[in-house]
Each structure stands twice: as structure tokens, then as C-alpha cells.
Structure 1
Amino acid sequence: MSAALRLTDLHSYYGKSHILQGVSLEVGQGEIATLLGRNGAGKSTTLKSAVGLITPRQGRIELDGRDITGQPAHRIAAAGLSLVPEDRGIFQLLTVEENLRIAERRGSPWSLADIYRIFPRLHERRRNGGGQLSGGEQQMLSIARALLNGPKVLMLDEPVEGLAPIIVEEIVAQIRLIREAGVPILLVEQNLAVCSQLADRHYILELGRIVHCANANEFRNDPDTIDRYLGVKA
């Protein structure tokens, strides 16, 4: 399977702190991969390095085989690598539909009708202000805006953190639909049940290094490794 996104030997710093110490991973076409690890392992730093919010000092980032290392964030976004950040970043004073319309991009395979099909709640709330939405609805809006950009790879940072179980189920179903539509996904998530339901491949990050990689089956059948690195029983 060819890689939609490949990170090779990434080293990133915050000031003098060496956070990523040679991170290598890939997301195949049509695949969901998870990046797991304890708090402070470097998961969000990996995503920010990939999209150019942090410039790696060493390593290579390839999107669909094209080297995008060191490019500014707006060029990486235009090339098709989209990050849905943990803080969601929606415009509180704009309506749902206005939030979506400003994200529309000419040539994107995703239309507003596609978005409303996958996220029926957003259609119901389309005239509500962004600040009137629940946390789960704001998360859906953030993902939907990223899709309207027509991403080649979608990266999600903690998409179900703090959400009610019924909303988590809804977002899991929506992530599946996005993958079925052909969008590869790199998922950072603490909820292991969600990761196990969704992912084809799992990477575990510890202190800025990838310490374990497994396919879905191997991961499911190896609770000892999960416990060693993540500190929970599967």
C-alpha cells in the first residue's frame, strides 16, 4: 500500500527542548492510523510538525510522495494536509453555515451537501451561532470545515475528548464514513476503545520516539504491550 503521508526521522524542538527524537510513521491510502501515547509523549507536536506549525530541525515529510518538509503552514494546507486541532478553532459569532462556507475551496470534491449528509446535526443547526453549539457539535463543525478543503490526509487531535458516549458513537460513525469516502486519517486519541474500533494501524509514542507499531489484530491481542506503554488494561 502506498503511503498518503510519510514522516521520516522527524526531530522537533520547543526552544532547547528536544521533543521529537526521530519519529517515523506512515498512513496508507484509505487507512486510519492512530498515534497513541501518554500525555507529553509528543503526539500533538508530531501533528504540528507535519503541518508546518513547528518546523522540524531534521527529517522529511511526504504527502502523496511529494516532499513538503519545511514549507510554511499555508502551503502545506493547500497541498492537502489538514489538521483538526484539539481546540477546534471555530468562529463563535458566525453561524454553522457561515463557518462552513468560508472553508469551501474551489476544486474540492466535498460540497456542503456532502457535509450535511455525513453530519445531519450540522444541517439541523446550520442557522445557529458557533458559540451556541455543544462541544460535540463544535467538534463535528471543525471536522466538516477541514473536509471542505478537500484534504488528501486528515489529521484529528483528540476528536472525542470530554464528549458524552452517545456523541462519541456519532463521531466514530462519521470518521468511518470519511474513511469510506477515501480520505486517509491520522488520529491522535486517548480513548482506546475508539482507536480499536477505527484504526488499521497503531503507533505508540513515548518520550518523542515511536516505541511500538502494530496492525489492528496484533494490537487487539497484545494487552501487555498496551499496558506497558499506555498504563491501562485493554
Structure 2
Amino acid sequence: MILTLTDVHGFYGKSHILQSININVAAGEVVTLLGRNGAGKTTTLKSIVGVVPAQRGKIMFEGEDITCIPTHKIAERGVCLVPEHRGIFKLLTVEENLTMSAKRDSAWKLDDIYRIFPRLKERRNNGGGHLSGGEQQMLAIGRALMTHPKILMLDEPVEGLAPVIVDEIVAQLKLINATGMTILLIEQNLEVCTQLADRHYIIEQGRVVHCASNQEFLNDDAVKDRYLGVNLAA
């Protein structure tokens, strides 16, 4: 396993948000974290990168304990989080956003990003603030790849985007995963999740309450209804 969380507990102030999270992610997998709003999904990703330090439990990455090391050291090891707000620099051009984050030893070069995201090549001289929401999301993912990640963690990458753009980003994530990139994904759009993922974890009230392969999840309407309040077949 490239990433393992064992009995991880996390707090916001005195609020006990993560209450024994257990997750395993194998190299090259796409794994989703599912659950209702406020279940603890985003906090789980933040705990992995050290923004919300785990108060109990252990987080292992590539066999190394990263539970208590600083966020920048976790990032140096190849753990990359693309947050929900994307965090691009709106006054910089697309190309400046990409090149400023590039690592010298990264397997991902500018041409690779433009090949996967042709829209970014077309708009490489545009300011980040002039991009559509979908283009900003593509830029955020492309910029993350330039940092030479070993695992890419995405927090709701297609939220609020038009269906045609959602389809485009799904296709791009498939291309990225096909290079061997491990992806840990939070997403409310279950159709997107089932198109991309090998496995799914469902989190409820800070605990993992269900884990299943993609096919098992697709076939289990009772679980989807119980924990997510939806039915993909509906």
C-alpha cells in the first residue's frame, strides 16, 4: 500500500471530527471517499497532508510514518492535495501558474500538461482569473502534476461544472491514472466516482462505515440509499 491510515482521529478545536479513520490505498489505484456533507471527508485529506494533524493513530506513506511531520515535508515526499477552492494565482498566466510549481526532477513537463489539457495550451497566456471554472480546475490539477506527486488527492474537482466539462475532466483523470498515478478523490457526483474508481470508502460521522470495490458498490442499492440517500439506478 502506498498510503495507509490506521485509527486516525482529528479535531477542529474541541470538535472531534475524525473518529478512527482506517483507509488503505494501493499504488496506481483510484479510490473515492464518499459521504454526506460534514462526514469528515475533507478533514481526512487535510489530516493526510498535516493541515489538521492527527491527534491519534498513524498515517503511513510509502512505508514511512508521516503522522507528525510538517506539511511541507509531506508535500516533498509526493503527497499533493488539490483543494476544493483550487487556489490558483489569478493574476498570473496559465503558463506562469504551471511553471512556478515545477520541480526539476518531475516526470511531468509542460508539454505533458498541455497534451492532457489542450484547453490550457490554448489559454496559456491568459490570466488565471480569466478562466472558466472548469479551466481553473484543469489548471489546478495540471499545476499539481508539475510538483511531481506520487499521490494526487482531489477535493470535489467537478463540483458546479457543466456536464460537458465534467466529462472532459473525467477523461483527463483517466489519462492521468493510466500513467500509474494514484488518485484519492472526494466527489459528490456518484456517476463520476463509478466511472473512475477501483474502490470506494463511505465515511459517516468521522468513521469509515463501508468499503467496497466499484462493482460491489454499483450493485448495492441498499448501501447507496442508506449512507448517501441516492440510487444510481434511479
Under TM normalisation by the shorter chain, which class is it?
over 0.9
Return the match for 1:152 from 144, 150, 153.
150
Unmatched 5+ residue regions in structure 2?
A: none
- State the 1:104 CA deviation: 0.4
Within 2, Cα distance between the matches of 1:177 and 1:26? 23
Partner of 1:108: 106
Within 2, Cα distance between the matches of 1:26 and 1:178? 20
Partner of 1:188: 186
Where does 1:20-99 land on structure 2 (aligned, <5 Å)?
20-99=18-97
Which amino acid in 2 is paired with 1:103?
A: S
- State the 1:29 CA deviation: 1.0
Within 1, Cα distance between the matches of 2:13 and 2:27? 34
Partner of 1:176: 174
1:82-123: CA deviations, max 9, x gaps?
A: 000000000000000000010101111110011001100000
TM-score by length of 2: 0.98
1:2-38: CA deviations, max 9, x gaps?
A: x111111110000110000000101111100000000
Which amino acid in 1 is paired with 2:83?
A: P
- State the 1:202 CA deviation: 0.3
Partner of 1:203: 201
> Is 2:116 the partner of 1:129?
no
Partner of 1:163: 161
- State the 1:59 CA deviation: 1.0
Matched position secondary structure for 1:213: strand
- State the 1:63 CA deviation: 1.2
Matched position secondary structure for 2:2: strand
Matched position secondary structure for 2:211: strand
1:129-163: CA deviations, max 9, x gaps?
A: 00000000000000001101111111000000000
Which amino acid in 2 is paired with 1:110?
A: W
1:184-225: CA deviations, max 9, x gaps?
A: 000000000000110000000000000000001100100111
Within 1, Cα distance between the matches of 2:228 and 2:146? 34
Matched position secondary structure for 1:90: coil
| Identical counterparts, % of pairs | 65
Within 1, Cα distance between the matches of 2:161 and 2:59? 32
Runs of 4+ in 1 over 4 A off after TM superposition: none
